[in-house]
Amino acid sequence: MESDAGRRPYTVLTVCTGNICRSPVVERLLAAALGPSADVAVESAGVGAVVGAPVAPLMASRLGAAGVSPDGFAARQVVESMLREADLVLPLTRRHRAAVVELAPAVVRRTFTLREFARLADAIGPAALPAGTPADRLAALVPLAAAQRGLKPARPEDDDVVDPWGYDDAAYEASWNQIAPAVATIARVVTG
């Protein structure tokens, strides 16, 4: 998809295991928070995707309650070309990050767990980014976040989003409560 300026949109790829619970929620929430005019394409995939499956019902209902449609979603398996083409890769856990970097080592400087990137974005803040579109601001934020990696310590497990698959509603709520604030932080920083 080409933007009005004839260039491709800035692409964010979110990655989890099955691509039915966590990464589709990030995809849909971040796209909605940035808005259709942001020139940012938000996509998702899984390292062990349930290819073709819709968003898990307990996450789909949460998206709906947030005013974001889960309709039309189909899980995809992550492949190297997706990673190479993405401008920012947001895996949901450190294990997913390792899998992504193993598949496409060149993406290491633009790959962060969702919560790690949100934490770094929050520390950098919107004032540190140039004026411009969310795509421009994301493009500026990624190298700043990469430079800050390790300087803003957190417990390693704080960078992971819990996997609710196979658990009860409380696990889905816990996962949602880790994802939604992280997405909101990223959107706030890049929409400034």
32-90 pLDDT, tens digit each: 999 988 899 999 999 999 999 999 999 999 999 999 999 999 999 999 999 999 999 99
pLDDT at 107 > cutoff 90: yes
Q: Which residues contact 42 (CB under 8 A, 6 or more apart)?
A: 11, 12, 14, 26, 27, 28, 30, 31, 34
Alpha helices in the chain, H assignment, sequence order: 22-34, 57-65, 80-85, 94-103, 114-124, 134-148, 169-191
Q: Strand 40-46 vs strand 10-16: parallel, antiparallel, or unpaired?
A: parallel
Confidence bin at 6 (pLDDT 50/70/90): low
The confidence band for 2, taking pLDDT boundaries of 50, 70 and 90, is very low
Q: What sign results for the dihedral spanned by CA atoms 20, 24, 26, 28?
A: negative
**Bridge partner residues of 45 (DSSP):** 15
- pLDDT at residue 131 greater than cutoff 90: yes
Mean pLDDT within 160-182: 97
Task: Kindly tell me if the per-residue pLDDT of 7 is higher than 80.
Answer: no
Residue 77 in contact with residue 53, Cβ under 8 Å?
A: no
Mean pLDDT of the chain: 95
Residue 130 tokens, joined: 């140039």
DSSP3 helix / strand / coil % (the chain, rounded to 5)? 50, 10, 40
Structure confidence at residue 1 (pLDDT)? 41
What pLDDT does 84 receive?
97
**What class has domain 10-191?**
alpha beta
The pLDDT, as a whole number, for residue 53 is 98
> Residues 97, 103: contact at Cβ < 8 Å?
no
Q: What is the average pLDDT across 92-103?
A: 98
Return the SS3 of 1.
coil
Instruction: Report how far residue 192's alpha carbon sits from residue 138's, in angstroms, rounded to the nearest whole number.
Output: 11
